[in-house]
Amino acid sequence: MGVGAEKKWLFALFSAAFLSFLIFVSSICGLSSSYYVFSSDKPFTSSAHHGAGHPPAFGYYIYGGRDDGDRIFRLLLAVYHPRNRYLLHIGADGMEIERRKLAAMVNSVPAFRAFGNVDVVGKPDPATYMGSTNIAAVLRAAAILLKVDRGWDWFVTLSAMDYPLITQDDLSHVFSSVRRDLNFIDHTSELGWKEGQRIEPIVVDPGIYLARRTQIFHATEKRPIPDAFRVFTGSPWIILSRSFLEFCVFGWDNLPRTLLMYVTNAMLSEEVYFHSVICNSNEFKNTTVNGDLRYMVWDNPPKMEPHFLNTSDYEGMVQSGAAFARQFAKDDPVLDMVDAKILNRGNNRVTPGGWCTGRKNWFMDPCSQWGDVNVLKPGPHVKKLTESSSKLLEEWKSQSNQCR
């Protein structure tokens, strides 16, 4: 065994032992059953400034199911920035030890402990395939993020099968020129085949009232398309403004609650709820930028999910101008390509940004030391994202009615 290989082996052994210790400590410290909160354990070199005149920040909801803890953690490292806020969720089908392991991994990263901006849901929500429990989990995540942090500007949903195609410095740089009340949400009122197969059928999600995992079941009758409001549908992957999320969660208008009751018995309610709320609201209907900034490749004819991306899709991803892509198999080699060529991210390290001041070498994480967290250093891939978002914004400006 060479000297370099021996050092890497010893480092891996030490990391495993340290992680095991953290899991043990977490298990005896009585972490909150609602969400695990990590507070700062060292003074900041600088504090994050939010609001007008400062770079935007994002509230991330990253979720997965059983055995997805490692994927969620890798995704967190890839999208981390001290200015953002993060909520991680392993669904009810996962085991408690998985949630505690994820919490321990989070607590093992110095920057996460110092900035205290990563939480892990301790009391999980069920997630029934095609059921309404999914939208309930998203709304709960939004409510938690609104409670624990007042600084983020946009809410972003990511699953364990997603991955970024740009750095957070790139994303914040591009969104610095975007109105902070705008919502990136793919939507349409042309229901097509979805009208008869998704909207009219009445389904019940047993995850609402049963502890054991099961699937939705269908009623024998269908219901007509409503005339009290117009149904919109689209991609479940969203980048929503803080102001719109507050409207949905606090509900000073009854529209969000009315539509939530309606989609409780609809299939894939996450493809209907936010789209219908925003497009039936006079206050928010003209804040919809019709795009989700995601890269996906669909089979022909399309299946329920896009196909898994691999190394042959890399160039297409790079040229797409998307901020995120899906879906990926666990530890697929294309993720290593994204880490090396786009994110400049080392193994088990966060994506470096302008806030990182440490030297980069094999034994030191450049983001274990930091300076001004409000400084952005966008990279070469920011150009494609700028072009794609500018195109979407030009389309938004050219239309007097955004919800059609």
Interatomic CA distance for residues 372 and 80, integer angstroms: 15
State the helix-helix crossing angle for 242-250 and 255-263, rounded to 10 degrees. 80
- 268 Ramachandran zone, left/alpha/beta (phi>0; psi -120 to 50): left
pLDDT at 400: 65
> What pairing do the DSSP bridges indicate for beta strands 35-37 and 118-121?
antiparallel
State residue 266's pLDDT score.
93
Q: How large is the average pLDDT for residues 261-280?
A: 95
Q: How much is the pLDDT for 46?
A: 58
Do the beta carbons of residue 337 and residue 326 sit within 8 Å? Answer: no
Q: Which residue has the higher pLDDT, 31 or 384?
A: 384
* Cβ within 8 Å of residue 93, ≥6 positions away: 65, 66, 126, 127, 213
Q: What pTM does this model have?
A: 0.89
354 pLDDT more than 70: yes
- The pLDDT tens digits for 274-321 are 999 999 999 999 999 999 999 999 877 777 788 899 999 999 999 999
Gap between the Cα atoms of 144 and 142, Å rounded: 5
Say if residue 38's pLDDT is above 90.
no
The mean pLDDT value for 387-397 works out to: 94
Instruction: Lowest mean pLDDT of 106-120, 193-207, 274-288, 331-345, name the range.
Output: 193-207
- Strands 85-90 and 58-64 come out as parallel
Q: Residues 198-241: pLDDT tens digits?
A: 899 999 988 888 877 678 888 889 999 999 999 999 999 999 99
Which residue has 């007509």 as its token pair?
Answer: 224
CB 110 within 8 A of CB 40: no
Q: Does residue 23 register a pLDDT over 80?
A: no
What average pLDDT does the chain have?
Answer: 87
Mean pLDDT of 388-404: 87
- 204 class by beta-carbon count within 10 Å (0-12 exposed, 13-18 middle, 19+ buried): middle
> Above 80 in pLDDT, residue 145?
yes
The pLDDT, as a whole number, for residue 22 is: 37
Residue 251 or residue 391, greater confidence = 391
User: Over pLDDT 90: what percentage of the chain?
Assistant: 71
